[in-house]
Amino acid sequence: MSTFSAPKGTYDLIPPDSADFLAVREAISAPLRRAGYGYVETPGFEQVELFARGVGASTDIVTKEMYTLTTKGGDELALRPEGTASVLRAALQANLHRGALPVKLWYSGSYYRYERPQAGRYRHFSQVGAEALGAEDPALDAELIILAVDAHRSLGLRNVRLLLNSLGDAACRPAYRAALQDFLRGLDLDEATRERIEINPLRVLDDKREAVQRQLTGAPLMRDHLCEGCAAYHEQVRTLLTAAGVAFEDDARLVRGLDYYTRTTFEFVHDGLGAQSAVGGGGRYDGLSEMIGGPALPSVGWALGVDRTVLALRAEGVTLPTPSPTDVYAVPVGEEARGVLFGVLTELRRAGVAADFAYGGRGLKNAMKSAGRSGARYALVLGERDLAEGVVQLKDLHSGEQAPVALSSAVAEIRAKLS
Shortest distance in whole angstroms from residue 268 CB to ligand AMP: 7
238 is in an annotated binding site: no
Among 179, 181, 255, 253, which residue's Cα sits nearest to residue 217? Answer: 253
* Cα(303)–Cα(81) distance, integer angstroms: 12
* Alpha carbon distances (Å) from 59 to 51, 54, 164, 280: 10, 11, 21, 18
- Does 20 contact ligand AMP by CB under 6 A? no
Strand order of the β-sheet with 262-270 is 38-39, 103-112, 124-133, 299-305, 278-284, 262-270, 160-166, 249-250
Q: Which residue from 37, 122, 233, 329 is in contact with ligand AMP, where contact means CB under 6 A?
A: 122
CA 15 from chain center: how many Å? 18
Closer by beta carbon to ligand AMP, 166 or else 309: 309
**Binding status of residue 283 toward ligand AMP by CB under 6 A:** no
Q: Are 188 and 212 in contact (CB under 8 A)?
A: no
Residue of 23, 205, 303, 313 that binds ligand AMP (CB under 6 A): 303
* Smaller CB separation from ligand AMP, 257 or 287: 257
307 near ligand AMP, rule: CB under 6 A:
yes
Where in 196-255 is the site for ligand AMP (CB under 6 A)? Answer: none
Spatial CA neighbour of 83 closest among 304, 309, 307: 304
Q: How many CB atoms lie within 10 A of CB 322?
A: 12
Which segment (99-107, 122-130, 162-170, 355-363) binds ligand AMP by CB under 6 A?
122-130
Q: Which of 257, 272, 287, 404 binds ligand AMP (CB under 6 A)?
A: 257
Is residue 164 a contact residue for ligand AMP (CB under 6 A)?
no
x/- mask, ligand AMP, residues 53-92, rule CB under 6 A, reads -----------------------------x----------
Position 272 contacts ligand AMP (CB under 6 A): no
d(CA 107, CA 29): 8
Stretch in the footprint of ligand AMP (CB under 6 A) among 26-34, 134-142, 148-156, 305-313: 305-313
Rounded Cα gap, residues 342 and 379, in angstroms: 13
Rounded to 5°, angle at Cα 382 from 381 and 385: 130
Binding site for ligand AMP (CB under 6 A): 82, 113, 115, 121-122, 125, 127, 257, 278-281, 303, 305, 307-308
Binding residues: 82-84, 113, 127, 131, 256, 260-261
